[in-house]
Structure formats: structure tokens, C-alpha cells
Amino acid sequence: MFSKKAPLALSALFTLSLSACSTHPIYNGHSGHDNVSNNHSYNNLYARNYQPRVNNWQFPEHNFRPVNSSKLLSDYTEQLAMKLIQNMNYVNSRTPIAVTSFVNLDDNLQTTNIFGNHLAESFITEMQGFGLSIVDYKHTGNVHVTPLGDFSFSRNGKEIKGYPHIDYTLTGTLTYTNKGVIVNARIIGAKSKIVVSTAKGFIPSFIVESLYPTRRVDGIILDEIQ
């Protein structure tokens, strides 16, 4: 026969087992979960092999993803653009502004991705809509007609006939968290390097993830995005 202490001991053991099952490593936004227990081996394998990544950042595994959302990247860019306009000094409709890719806040500030380029493209639209003079320095000045399409843009410096006069540059940095991306935008004098306007915002990970579509068949991911 069990003693009176036996049910208490069993209850405590059951509570500890539940606690162990519900505990998992803290995700830092830069790498997958550590494989510290067999209970999470499947999640670790999924995070390493199937979750899309933006350079070394992985989309949060259990983050909120609305089934139906009308939110677009342009909605967040518009808010940032309004902040830049409100804080802006010296810039006017006659001062040419170049918009460059937003870069990861790392040790070299030379790394970008689809999100950083999309953000820059969205800022071109928003800032021009406020009446500012935006310079598109990627335009070659020519039209290249090919069987695949007609092109006038290039990222090859040799194909761009001289760079236009630029007074200010709109650019910024990206900081990745386990819920999304912190965007720090700024407008900088091309010669003086003085920051004449700043804006800070947060873009949820599901907005960033929407720029990296994957093909699925019966729930199986066919494309891994790097």
C-alpha cells in the first residue's frame, strides 16, 4: 500500500515533467534553437532546413502570421516617410535626393537583401509623392530591347553614363529581432554628411516574410529561400 506521501511525490513529478516539456531555449533572432532535448529535435530540424532566411536571420518559427491581412510594406514605409518629412531640415523640392538600399546593421554595413531593396523602392515612391526630387541613378539613359523584355535599369556601373548631381541620400539600417525588423531611416547631406532627418519604425516579420514567397504542394515546402 502506498503511503500518504506517495500521491504528493507523484504529483510533483508530473508537474516537473510538464514544465520540462513546455520549456525551450530563447530564440535570439539570429540562429536556430539549440538542440538541447529530443522533444525539440523536430523543431530544430525544421528551423535549420525549411524556414526561409534573410542572410543569417531566420523568420521566427512561432511568430504571429495573420491569415488575412491587408497590410503591405508600403503602409509602413508611408509612416516612416511622413516622419522624415516632419523632421526634415534644408531639403526641399529643388534638392536632388538619392535613395539607396537599406543595409543590415553589422560590422561592414555592406549587406542587403530583397527586403532592404524593396524598402528603398518603396521610399522612392513615397518621397516623390511628397513633392521631393528623387534621383534614380540606376537608370542607364538607354533602352535595351531583348527577347526577354525591354530594360532601362542596371546595377552595372559601366552601363550607367555618369552619375547625376546628388545633394542628399536617403538610406538606413536594419536590425533583426525575433518579432520583426527595426528600421532606422535617415537623410544625409552628400558632401557635409550631416544628418538632416531621421525616422525609426518597426516592421513585423510577417510583412518581411511576405516578400519571400515559397511554393508549397500539400503543405510541403518546395523552395528554400536564402
Rounded to the nearest angstrom, the gap between the alpha carbon of residue 63 and the centroid of all alpha carbons in its chain is 15
C-alpha cell read off for 56:
543569417
pLDDT of residue 79: 95
**Alpha carbons 121 and 119: distance in angstroms, whole number:** 5
Q: Phi/psi zone of residue 141: left (φ > 0), alpha (ψ -120 to 50 degrees), beta?
A: left
**CB neighbours of 65 closer than 8 A, spacing ≥ 6?**
206, 209
Other CB atoms within 10 Å distance of the CB of residue 54: 23
Burial of 11 (0-12, 13-18, 19+ CB in 10 A): exposed
pLDDT of residue 69: 66
In this structure, are strands 216-217 and 220-221 parallel, antiparallel, or unpaired?
antiparallel
pLDDT of residue 163: 73
Other CB atoms within 10 Å distance of the CB of residue 47: 20
pLDDT of residue 179: 87
Weakly modelled stretches of the chain, pLDDT under 70: 1-69, 213-226
pTM for this model (two decimals) = 0.66
Signed CA dihedral, 98, 99, 100, 103: sign only: positive
pLDDT of residue 126: 95
The long-range contacts involving 43-52, CB below 8 angstroms and separated by at least 24 positions, are: 49/224, 50/221, 50/224, 52/209, 52/212, 52/214, 52/224, 52/225, 52/226
